[in-house]
Amino acid sequence: MLEICDLKVSYDETEILAGVDLDLLRGDSLAIIGESGAGKTTLGLAVMGLLEERASGRILLDGKDILSLDEKEMRKMRGKDIAMVFQNVEDALDPLMTVSDQIQEAISAHLEKGDPREVDDRVRRLLKSVGLNEDKGGSFPHQLSGGEKQRALIAMALANDPQVLILDEPTASLDAVTKAEITCLLRERIREKIVLVITHDISTAAKLAEKMAVLYAGRIVELGDTKDLLENPRHPYTRGLIRSSPNMTTTKDLQGIPGRMVHGVPGCPFSDRCTQRIDRCRREVPLLKEAGDRMIACHRGGIVPLLELSDVKTSFGDFAAVDGVDLTLYEGETIALVGESGSGKTTLAKTVIGLFEMDDGEGEIRLEGEVLTRRGRDFYKKVQMIYQNPKESISHRMNVLEAIAEPLEVQKAGSPSERRAIVKRVLEEVELPTDDAFLKKYPHQISGGEAQRVAIARALVLNPKLLIADEPTSALDASVQAKILKLLLNLQEKRGLAILFITHDIALARKVSDRMAVMLKGKIVEEGPTSDVTTCPVHPYTMKLLEVVAPHLAPMRGARETRDGSGGLWEVSEVPPLRAREL
């Protein structure tokens, strides 16, 4: 059993690990993911007792504190009880020794007196067990391919059948095919051990480890089962990491995380880059706490639900345009609401923003956890809407400046000159000119794309948390549409803007949304991660919608139901070997 308690490591003044706690039992595999510089490798080296710096805290292996051992005792444990598979970088193997000799060294380092023949035999068996031919043993590292070198490194780490195995970027420098082979090999060899997988490659982590810890600036911010954590990230940083890592089912455009990692900030380490921070985040360090199926270190309990609809109904006379909708929209997320005309999408949007009255009854709309009863100025500061026809949505009697500054006037924010400055800043954000000539233009004097940007600027000028976009680009050219959508995604990345994106264009929705909700006759008939809904739809109506736009993809439909939970967004299941190999 490996127990890490309050492990802290500093290089010079910077705290690289700021208190890490982990408990691992035999057979556990844990992936540590995070950006470079998060302290992943430091953690691995600390467990190996290979840190130059003094570490504080405790690392207990079967009750023995590794950090308190002297170099001599530690040496005896390294490679025997705890071993590390290094990344196959250029010089991970000694260039002057044959592979066999290097593996043999790993064995003899822990033998008092070894029978040379027996050692040779063990080397041969090890080579075979990692899929290396015996005659490769006599080769020097420069004569081997990257995959072969990686195999040799694995053989070396396995030489003494260690209890704890640390895999440091085990596949980072390999091509996709070799990567799959090595991953497959590792999965076979690491059973019954305590395994730490250190990587920034989420797909490798998903394949090798059952549990996953996300490390940020020396602290674990989220810890949970690999599959759950990847399909439903709850810390904003985890979501950011996943959004920036493509896999073969990624549909939404890649998004990054604003800012860069800084160690040693007061309060939550992620607060500077977080779009949902509150004052407390800057002051206090959040502790890693149990939250449902996992542990999260966040003062807000993870990504907050911004808008929650439950059983929302809107009727016109006897006709129920929206007939009992449940939907939750999280901070910084896009939900695409798709469906044909008349399915109730726009009615739902207008109900949320307050243009239509919701039916009396059980239904509830919550914004940031609070039930909406009346919509005052505060509400419109947080929620804004943009419409299908930009030229119609801007008053013909207002020029650009007046149109964008109007929400500020309504909110009574700032003096006229301050408002002007704010308008200019927002115009820059939406990539429009800020000169006086443009500010004085009227809607009929600008193009459709420009008008929609002005509409977006007007919606964003109050810095809302939620943007309801009702067919925002259907009146625009394809190229202008692409630019506007990129703009929205960038704003989402920068500000954590949540977007309720209403469209009948599924192909478009697929590129901008995290989740997709399909509406039919006032009800949501299917909802899920966009890639799942678009590749393996369950509801017949969704299938029909997809078949209309992509008839050639039809055979894949309906597969999701039969899946046993493996697969999904991230391939967490067994990887079939790609080439026939002898093992």
Partner 1 sequence: MQDLEMRHLNGPEVGWDGQKAMEKAKALLRRGTFFSNYIIAFVIILTLNFVLPRMMPGDPLQAIYGEEALLAMTPQLEAELVSRLALDQSIGQQFVAYILALLSGDLGHSYYYNQEVLSVILDFLPWTLLLTGTALVISTLAGLILGIESGYRRGRQLDKTLLAGLMFLSGFPDFFMGIVLLLVFGVVMGMVPLSGALTPYSGLEGLPLALDILHHLLAPLAALVLVRVTSAYLLTRNTMITTLKENFILTARAKGCTEGQIKYRHAGRNSLLPVVTATGLLIPHLITGALFVEIVFSYPGVGWLLYNALLTRDYPLIQGILLMVTVAVLLANLLVDLLYSKLDPRVSHAR
| Residues that bind partner 1 in the complex, under the rule CB under 8 A | 48, 50, 71, 75-80, 83-84, 86, 89-97, 102, 105-106, 109-110, 140, 142-143, 153, 156-157, 159
Nearer to partner 1, 172 or 413 (CB): 172
Nearer to partner 1, 88 or 503 (CB): 88
Which class for 561: exposed (0-12), middle (13-18), buried (19 or more C-beta within 10 A)?
exposed
Other C-beta atoms closer than 10 Å to the C-beta of 115 total 9
Q: 3-class DSSP state for residue 480?
A: helix
| Closest CA relative to residue 109, chosen from 71, 162, 51, 160 | 160
Report which residue type is found at 415: S
Nearer to partner 1, 89 or 177 (CB): 89
| Closest CA relative to residue 163, chosen from 2, 296, 389, 301 | 2
Q: Minimum distance from CB of 86 to partner 1 (Å)?
A: 6
Handedness of CA 529, 534, 536, 538 (dihedral sign): positive
Using alpha carbons only, give the angle 292, 198, 271 rounded to the nearest 5 degrees: 55
Which class for 291: exposed (0-12), middle (13-18), buried (19 or more C-beta within 10 A)?
middle
Which class for 124: exposed (0-12), middle (13-18), buried (19 or more C-beta within 10 A)?
middle
Q: Minimum distance from CB of 106 to partner 1 (Å)?
A: 4
Nearer to partner 1, 50 or 287 (CB): 50
Nearer to partner 1, 76 or 563 (CB): 76
Nearer to partner 1, 2 or 159 (CB): 159
Nearer to partner 1, 200 or 523 (CB): 200
| Closest CA relative to residue 271, chosen from 482, 534, 496 | 496
Q: What is the DSSP letter of 264?
A: T
Q: Minimum distance from CB of 182 to partner 1 (Å)?
A: 17
Q: Minimum distance from CB of 38 to partner 1 (Å)?
A: 19
Nearer to partner 1, 109 or 538 (CB): 109
Q: Minimum distance from CB of 277 to partner 1 (Å)?
A: 38
Angle of helix 176-189 relative to helix 146-158, nearest 10 degrees, comes to: 10
Nearer to partner 1, 78 or 465 (CB): 78
What DSSP element (H or E) covers 46? helix 40-48
Q: Minimum distance from CB of 48 to partner 1 (Å)?
A: 6
Q: Minimum distance from CB of 161 to partner 1 (Å)?
A: 13
Q: Minimum distance from CB of 411 to partner 1 (Å)?
A: 58
Nearer to partner 1, 84 or 476 (CB): 84
Radius of gyration of the chain, Cα coordinates, nearest whole angstrom: 28
Q: Minimum distance from CB of 261 to partner 1 (Å)?
A: 24
Q: Minimum distance from CB of 418 to partner 1 (Å)?
A: 55
* Greatest extent of the chain over all pairs of C-alpha atoms, in Å: 95
What DSSP element (H or E) covers 75? helix 71-77
- Concatenating the DSSP letter of every residue in 223-250 gives EEEHHHHHHS--SHHHHHHHHTS--TT-
Token couple for 242: 């996943």
